[in-house]
Chains A and B, each alone.
Chain A
Amino acid sequence: GAVVSQHPSRVICKSGTSVKIECRSLDFQATTMFWYRQFPKQSLMLMATSNEGSKATYEQGVEKDKFLINHASLTLSTLTVTSAHPEDSSFYICSARSSLRETQYFGPGTRLLVL
């Protein structure tokens, strides 16, 4: 299957700082990328969908000014958590899909801990 990488895998930061998470599709062109958040023992919650070269579409209740998403190329999307607070601590997972495939492939996830 296709490979999606995420970096970093784990990050600890102080409250008020910003954190950037990168998501890369390594062997295919991702026309659409998705960012999810997952709480312990729960399912994935879609935060936003982004298409290459256009603004991300955010789900209801997700603050676009807090969770900045950039999808500047067909292989890279970034999620920046601005002015992070402890309640932003979570497991963030990206996913990518190409226009040629029906399957979404997922990155390994990033564990964010805000102190």
Chain B
Amino acid sequence: AQSVAQPEDQVNVAEGNPLTVKCTYSVSGNPYLFWYVQYPNRGLQFLLKYITGDNLVKGSYGFEAEFNKSQTSFHLKKPSALVSDSALYFCAVRANSISSGSARQLTFGSGTQLTVLP
């Protein structure tokens, strides 16, 4: 079974400082990895994904994430945090497209609440 761990429920960072939101995963075969952001009372917005290729993925709003196969991690990063980045962040994984059934469903982490302090 596939799983995602976001070890930090809450991350606080000062505006202008770099931020990291951690994610590790477990999946059979090659993973497809995703980061989504959720603002209060809203659905999830897609930030970035890793499918194949370059391990460093750049996404929306200046976010990036690095796929590390040996550590089975996909940490989200941003060089300089903004107050408007404060939101709930979800990491998600699913098996690659040759898999079938439940393995093709997204499995989400528990979410990390990011608070950027002015």
- Spell out A's residues near B (CB within 8 Å): 1, 4, 6, 34, 41-44, 46, 49, 91, 93, 95, 102-109, 111
Contacts and interface: CB of A to CB of B under 8 A. Distances in A.
A107 B42 CA distance: 8
A17 B110 CA distance: 32
B90 A44 contact: yes
Nearest to B44: A106
Contacts of B110: 42-43
A43 B42 contact: no
Contact of B109 (A43, A103, A109): A43
Interface of B: 32, 34, 36, 41-46, 49, 51, 90, 97, 105-106, 108-111, 113
Contact of A1 (B32, B41, B46): B46
Contacts of B90: 43-44
A61 B24 CA distance: 27
B43 A107 contact: yes
Given A42-B111, A43-B90, A43-B110, A106 B43 contact: yes
Contacts of A106: 36, 43-46
Contact of B43 (A41, A43, A109): A109
